Structures are given as structure tokens and as C-alpha cells.
Amino acid sequence: MAEMQLREALRRAMTEEMRRDERVFLMGEEVAYYDGAYKVSQGMLAEFGDRRIIDTPIAENGFCGIGIGAAMAGLRPIIELMTWNFSLVAFDQIINSAAKVYNMTAGEFTCPIVFRGANGAAENLASQHSQALESLYAHFPGLKVISTSTPSDAYGLLKSAIRDPDPVIFMESELAYGLKGEVPDEEFLIPIGKGEIKRDGTDVTLVTWNKQVATCHAAADALAKEGISARVLDLRTIRPLDEELLFRCALETHRVVVVQEGFTFAGVGAEIAARVQEACFDALDAPVLRVTNRDVNQPYATNLEKLVMPSAQRVVEAARAVCGR
């Protein structure tokens, strides 16, 4: 078992997959000679050379599309988006090409590609650089969406994503790249579509993913002091959703709070709330609540930004509310 940073775990996953499969390559802005804008690909150019670690111009629509074409031709591209904000430049290619190729060609072509990069707010980056876009990508059949930030989960899931026959959206976190966690030395894969209970509890389930898992842990600590036992369910994959585990948690704790970055309206939380009430209505003791970004573009100033982001305090308040406290 080794302690490693999230960026190191991602690098280990990519490096191992590139060693085992000649078809895998990494392409994106600053991934090669600069060693990655966030140093995720550090040293990979030195090992694999510039045939397989490829710097691109700032042309997301172009290089995402080129990746999709290469995947249709049988290669296994990993496309790094410096952050997911910039994926919006390539939204057309990801949605209208990657997500639909397999279906539109009735299976003649597959599109085994991974789009990966930092998602969600870092700090003080204002409205265009702070977006959490899970709900946007999860909307479309044909895409798989992973959003995770513990080193071990990121490692196991990225390996699965690279081997997956379909396009996978893989969301990391700028603030978590330097955070350390234990990762087993033995190679392992984590299946796409499986959540994990990160902390057990009996009164309420906090459903979350990526760096809001940490917010929920902090909230669960605070709730424990008040005698509320909170379970933390880390979905890890947004689509396909681990409904089995989600519903089991809802049935066992009778109360659910979804904690997500990104906006409330048509967010992933809305989907989870809808599904939980459809499947578990009779078992619920309270409506499903959501803690999300406030419904406003991300402000730069620290005092305003703090108000906008989900916080442990807001999670505590929501948990109290569903527990009738």
C-alpha cells in the first residue's frame, strides 16, 4: 500500500495502460513538454515519447474530434481537457459524435475514448473557470460519466475507463490533485457504475461524489456530535447510476440528502431525488433534499464564493431538516 497524490494515481493508471496496450495514447494541451498543466502527465513524455504523448494547439473541438476519429479507427485515445470548462468548446464533438457513433452506425463503429480533466471550482477563478458539468454530460445516452477524487478510486476507475469500449467522461478535481490517499500496490480495476459507502450511518444517507465527499465527511463528523448518524455514499460513477446501492441506502436510512457541486436546476441531484422517490417512496421519512451551488454564476471574491459553494454547514442543516431536528 502506497500513499500517493491523486495526480500520481491517475498517472500510474495511464502509464500502466499505455505499457500494456500500444493503442493507448494521451493527447491534450501542455500534456507533453510542460509535463501537464497540473502535472498529471509528468514524466510520461520521457517514457513514451511524442508519438504517444501529444501536445495540441488550443483547439478543443478539433482535437476532441480527432480523438474520436482515431478511436473509431481502433486506437484508444485519452484526451486531456485542461479543465472541463474548456470541453464546452468541444461539446458538439463529444455529444453529436462520440455519444452517437455506435448507435448511428448500428454498431459498425465503436468509440473507445476517454475524455479526462479537472472539473468543478478551484478557488477564485470566477464564472468561466469554475463549473461542474456532470449533469450536462450525464444527460446523454451513449456516454459514461465518472467523477471521483480519491487516488485509489481514480486509479481503478481510470483503468476501467481506458479499457471500456464506449466514450467515457472522466472528471477529476484541481483542488484534489495534490491530496494523498492509500493506493494498493497490486494492479486492480474498479468497475464503472459502482458506488461505495465511504462511511456507514443509519439516520440519513448523504449521496455525493468527487470532492464533495470530503464535505460530507466533515458534515458527518459534526452530525455525529449531535447524535445524527450519517452515511456517506460516494457514487463515483454518475452514469450508469448505481441504483441498487442508492436504493438500498434510501431503504435503510429512510432519509436522503444529495450533495453536489453545480447548479440545482436540472442537476444530477434532481435526477437522484426523482429516482429515489419513484423507487423508495414508501420508505422515505422526508423529502429528498439537495445541497448544491447557489443558483448564480461563480463570483471571484472569496466572501461571495464561500456563500455559493456547498459547505459542511449547509449539509448539516439539510441533514437536520430531513431528520426533523
Site residues for another protein per CB under 8 A: 29-30, 33-34, 37, 55-59, 61-62, 85-86, 88-89, 122-129, 294-297, 299-304, 307-308
Return the one option of ligand TPP, another protein, none that residue 304 interacts with (CB less than 5 to 8 A, by type): another protein
Tell me if 142 sits within 8 A of 102, measured CB to CB. Answer: yes
Which position's Cβ is nearest ligand TPP?
Answer: 86
129 is catalytic: yes
Q: Select 60 or 166, whichever has its Cβ closest to ligand TPP.
A: 60
Q: How far is the CB of 35 from ligand TPP (least distance, A)?
A: 15
Torsion sign, CA atoms 104, 89, 51, 151: negative
For 199, the enclosing helix (H) or strand (E) is: strand 196-199
Q: How far is the CB of 193 from another protein (least distance, A)?
A: 32
Tell me how many degrees the CA angle 80-81-83 measures, rounded to the nearest 5.
Answer: 135
Q: How far is the CB of 87 from ligand TPP (least distance, A)?
A: 9
| Number of residues that make up the chain | 325
Q: Select 131 or 152, whichever has its Cβ closest to another protein.
A: 131
Q: How far is the CB of 275 from ligand TPP (least distance, A)?
A: 34
Tell me if 12 sits within 8 A of 156, measured CB to CB. Answer: no
Return the one option of another protein, ligand TPP, none that residue 126 interacts with (CB less than 5 to 8 A, by type): another protein
Q: Which of 60, 80, 134, 172 is catalytic?
A: 60
Q: Which residues of 76-114 are buried (b: 16+ CB within 10 A; e: fewer)?
A: bbbbbbbbbbbbbebeebbbebbbbbbeeeeeebbbbbb
Closest to 206 measured CA to CA, from 233, 241, 225, 229? 233
Q: Select 33 or 281, whichever has its Cβ closest to another protein.
A: 33
Tell me if 234 sits within 8 A of 196, measured CB to CB. Answer: yes
Would you tell me which residues interact with ligand TPP (CB under 6 A)? 29, 58, 60, 82, 86, 89
Q: Select 37 or 283, whichever has its Cβ closest to another protein.
A: 37
Residues belonging to the active site: 60, 129
